[in-house]
Structure formats: C-alpha cells, structure tokens
C-alpha cells in the first residue's frame, strides 16, 4: 500500500512538472515540503526502528547522515541520542511517526488553499460545462477503469 502511495505521489509531481505547475512557487514549494514530510514519516516509522534493531542499519543511517556537510555530526548525535546506538530512541521515533501525519494533513490543507488561490482547479484548461456529456456512464466507467488499472498495477508489483 505504501509503495503504491509513493508511486501516486511521484506521478502527481510528474503531472505538475508536465503542466508547468512549478510556476506557482508557493503552491509548488508547499507540495515539496509536503512530499518531504511524507518521506520523513515513512523514514521515522520504518527505517529508523530498523536501524535501531540492526547495527548494519544503524551504520548505513549514520554514514548517510554524517555525510551532510556542517551538520552531519550533530544530526547523528541527535538521531541516536548520543555518539552510539546505546539508548532506546524508539519512543522518540514513534512519537514523530505519529505526529507527522497531522502535520501532513495541515500541509495538505495549505496546499489546497494555495491551489484555490492560484486558480489551479482546472490545470488542463478543459471546458467545465457539465451538460456536455451525461455524468453517470462516462465517469462511472472511467473511475472503474482507473481502479482496475491501479489494482492491476499493484497486482503486477506484488506477483
């Protein structure tokens, strides 16, 4: 489920790049912060406990963070609660993991507000006249096809 969610996020970013949505700087930057917050939530919920539970994982995370110029050493000390993996920091990781979705929800609302402010409710520029085609057959078939396509993609990834 999480993998498909990230695939959908990346497709959403790709669509935004295709339609030139990066021109709306505020909306785009909120979206980037939103993407990083989602990645941070996944990182806090999975990767960091995995690093706590295996010294190999801890080594990988420590090496990645220590490579960041200027603040790498400070980040390593902060993330592990000291110079080495000797204290249980899972409580802090899970606290961040469970508070970040609320921050993500707030950021999503801000993202939608900026979308509304810039008039991005019709990025393709299609005529929004609802009388052009009957609602039920077109949209029902389209939504069913989209669901089947997404389900088939997920099934292909799983099998």
5-35, pLDDT tens digit by residue? 999 999 999 988 888 888 889 989 999 999 9
**CATH of region 2-122:** 1.20.810.10
Domain ranges (residues) in the chain: 2-122
Report the run of H or E that residue 108 belongs to, with start and end.
helix 90-117
Distance of CA 151 to the CA centre of its chain: 20
Question: Do residues 109 and 101 make contact, with C-beta atoms less than 8 angstroms apart?
Answer: no
In 3D, which of 97, 93, 77 has the Cα closest to residue 85?
Answer: 77
- CB within 8 Å of 153: residues ≥ 6 apart: 4, 7
93-133 pLDDT, tens digit each: 777 778 889 999 999 999 989 888 877 666 566 676 666 66
Task: Give pTM, 2 decimals.
Answer: 0.60
The gap from C-alpha 118 to its chain's centroid, in whole angstroms, comes to: 22
């Amino acid at each position: 489920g999480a993998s498909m969610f990230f695939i959908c996020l990346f497709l959403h970013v790709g669509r935004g790049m295709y339609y030139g949505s990066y021109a709306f700087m505020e909306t785009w930057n909120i979206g980037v912060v939103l993407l990083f917050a989602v990645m941070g939530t996944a990182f806090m919920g999975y990767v960091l406990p995995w690093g706590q539970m295996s010294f190999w994982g801890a080594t990988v995370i420590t090496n990645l963070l220590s490579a960041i110029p200027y603040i790498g050493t400070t980040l390593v000390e902060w993330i592990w609660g000291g110079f080495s993996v000797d204290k249980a920091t899972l409580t802090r990781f899970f606290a961040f993991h469970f508070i970040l979705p609320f921050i993500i929800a707030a950021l999503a609302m801000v993202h939608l507000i900026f979308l509304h402010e810039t008039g991005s409710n019709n990025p393709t520029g299609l005529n929004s006249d609802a009388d052009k085609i009957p609602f039920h057959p077109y949209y029902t078939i389209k939504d069913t096809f989209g669901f089947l396509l997404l389900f088939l993609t997920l099934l292909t990834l799983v099998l």
